[in-house]
A and B are shown apart, each in its own frame.
Chain A
Amino acid sequence: DAKTTQPTSMDCAEGRAANLPCNHSTISGNEYVYWYRQIHSQGPQYIIHGLKNNETNEMASLIITEDRKSSTLILPHATLRDTAVYYCIVSLSGGYQKVTFGTGTKLQVIP
């Protein structure tokens, strides 16, 4: 599995866009980028994933660079409930799927 690198922590003002970066420079062509988040004392929750095109859903947007070596998760209007640890991982499509969750980015949304 490709490794990912994320900042340890970030702050964001409530109502502002939160932009969380992730580097995955060794990603291979058939690996997807997945984002999860973990709110305190809960299990991780899926947010979004993508292969090479930008993706958007009701929770967030995912911007993947053209060379696929990095991506950014965007929460367009952060709320206090978005305070969580955000994990960026890469995962093969199909077949064996052991993935590695790093320590993620601790996002603190500030009132």
Chain B
Amino acid sequence: GAGVSQSPSNKVTEKGKDVELRCDPISGHTALYWYRQSLGQGLEFLIYFQGNSAPDKSGLPSDRFSAERTGGSVSTLTIQRTQQEDSAVYLCASSPQRGRGQETQYFGPGTRLLVL
């Protein structure tokens, strides 16, 4: 079946511009995660959505970052007034989270963001 997809695959923008990154999770997966990965670094948690619960935004680095998930499916991560330090790969993952160990995260290919 279809996996997690993300768009665009690459994005180059100028400092100060806003960008929107999209994630299409696997159908039926109730949980959705956003991570950021800077060059040579590990995954940095950004935000987590689970069903209709309030999202965990504790990982968002500043108020320039926001995310929403419409209808429990597609998610958009928005970065306003981009800075050069925002350059990274943004990864999305979804999970069925049905309990009993069914919490595997399935990752998309990522969006590579470069802020000039």
Which candidate, A9-17, A19-27, A68-76, A100-108, is the interface stretch facing chain B? Answer: A100-108
- Which secondary structure dominates chain B's binding surface? loop
- Interface size of B by CB at 8 A reads 27
Tell which of A49, A87, A100, A103 touches B104, judged by Cβ atoms closer than 8 Å.
A49
- Which secondary structure dominates chain A's binding surface? loop
For the complex with contacts A43-B109, A43-B110, A99-B105, 13 further pairs of A-B residues with Cβ separation under 8 Å are A36-B105, A44-B43, A46-B104, A50-B101, A51-B101, A97-B31, A97-B48, A98-B58, A99-B45, A100-B45, A101-B42, A102-B42, A104-B42
The residue among B42, B43, B45, B110 with the most chain A CB atoms within 10 A of its own CB is: B43
Binding site for A on B (CB under 8 A): 4, 31, 35, 41-43, 45, 48, 50, 56, 58, 91, 93, 95, 97-101, 103-110
A87 and B108 CA atoms in complex are apart in Å by 16
4 nearest A-B pairs in the assembled complex, by CB-CB distance: A94-B99, A43-B107, A101-B43, A103-B42
Tell me the minimal C-beta distance from A46 to chain B in angstroms.
Answer: 5
Q: Are the CB atoms of A93 and B91 closer together than 8 Å?
A: no
Q: Which residues of B contact A103 (CB under 8 A)?
A: 41-42
A45 and B93 CA atoms in complex are apart in Å by 10
Q: Which residues of B contact A46 (CB under 8 A)?
A: 104-106
A60 within 8 A of B: no
Interface residues on A, range: 20 to 34
Q: Which B residue sits closest to A45, measured CB to CB? A: B107
Q: Are the CB atoms of A94 and B97 closer together than 8 Å?
A: yes
Known: A43-B109, A44-B91, A94-B97. A101 touches B35 (CB 8 A): yes
Q: Which residues of A contact B106 (CB under 8 A)?
A: 46
The residue among B42, B106, B110 with the most chain A CB atoms within 10 A of its own CB is: B42
**CB interface residues, A 21-60, toward B, < 8 Å:** 32, 34, 36, 42-46, 49-51
